[in-house]
Structure 1
Amino acid sequence: MLNARFDADWHNISSGLRRDLGAQIYGQWIRSISLGDFCDLTGTLELLLPSDFSASWVSDHYADRLRLAWSITNSSVKQLKIRTRPGAPRVELLRASNNAERAVAQEASEALAPRSALDPRMTFANFVKGQTNVLALSAAERVASKDKPLFNPLYLQAATGQGKTHLMHAIGHAYSEVNPDAQILYMSAEKFMMEFVTAMRRKEVME
């Protein structure tokens, strides 16, 4: 099942993802990925995860980043198929029979919704304030307020692990609280780039 010829590539890709995403996110979602079959005809490589939930989450949140990394590392990989590892236990959340199980099912369903790209743990209340990020925190809080933001766009630059991603998620959460009807889109640079390139190829940039 495992495709050993791509092991070195996956080692390099996963190392880069660990550096970019941080040890916690990497350990939660990426570390458990293993390589499955590869179709030489279509250039499709399988990425296998231990559960339906983790496969859906990785597909929704990291598929574009993974596709970009593979396209850069190995040109023979044209497509990725993210699915549950064969033999993994399957959980039928929609058949929950009591209130506790229904709550779990609802939470999982919400986690798979498009707006779930905002991490519920990354709020202003949970942000660790320090001397190096006090200005960024203040600017982020102003962007998320009801008043017209002084910074538009707000550009955050810092080394890995200093809270850039946390602040972006926190802005989304805080803004949605004061503007419940607002449409909020959280998108990685990789996803934007891939969608923009695709639009250019299809001559649909304005759309």
Structure 2
Amino acid sequence: MGRENSLDLHEARLSASFVMTEKLHKFHDECIMPHLQVGAPSGAPLMKNAIQLLTDDHKKIKSLLEELANTSTRAVKKRAQLLDEVATMLKIHTTIEEEIFYPAFKQAGNKDDAKTYFEAMEEHRAAGELVLPDLMGTKPDSEQFSGRAKVLKELVVHHADEEEEGMFKRAKSIFDKAALDALGERMQARKAQMLGE
């Protein structure tokens, strides 16, 4: 790698780190605040239930991954910024699923639901411990980055669609409204904690 490419890569990563705070604020405004609905009789905000919250996250993450996969090798800064945002959102999303939603689902469900739980955990591991770290270690100006971004997108989209069509539909039958609301509240609190609020 030439010195100029190395400097460009360093500059792109440095620029991306400076905008991380801005991205976290954007994530807060777009992913956290829409879940709060002011106007409850007591004046306290009502949070979306667990399934609504997770589905909204899926939409935002899919959109970012689509944008990332469609960038060109010349969009080094854009790729770095999008990748940082995707990594942050995936970390927060998978944490609230793994710490709160999945264990509750497994505990409330049957043997088939336990199987679904373990499959979902493995899909998180594949994306978060294998594909995402490889992508983050890949030069943003390379075709290899393009290929890895597409693989991450396909993996995450498949996982999210599978959750929405299987696990979330099943969760609606094993949890009542109060339980889904309570899970959503716990998950939202954990998100806020991770964002340092």
Q: Do both share a fold (TM > 0.5)?
A: no
Q: Which has the higher helix share?
A: 2
* TM-score normalised to structure 1 length: 0.25
Larger radius of gyration: 1
* Higher RCO (CA-CA < 8 Å; seq separation 6+): 2
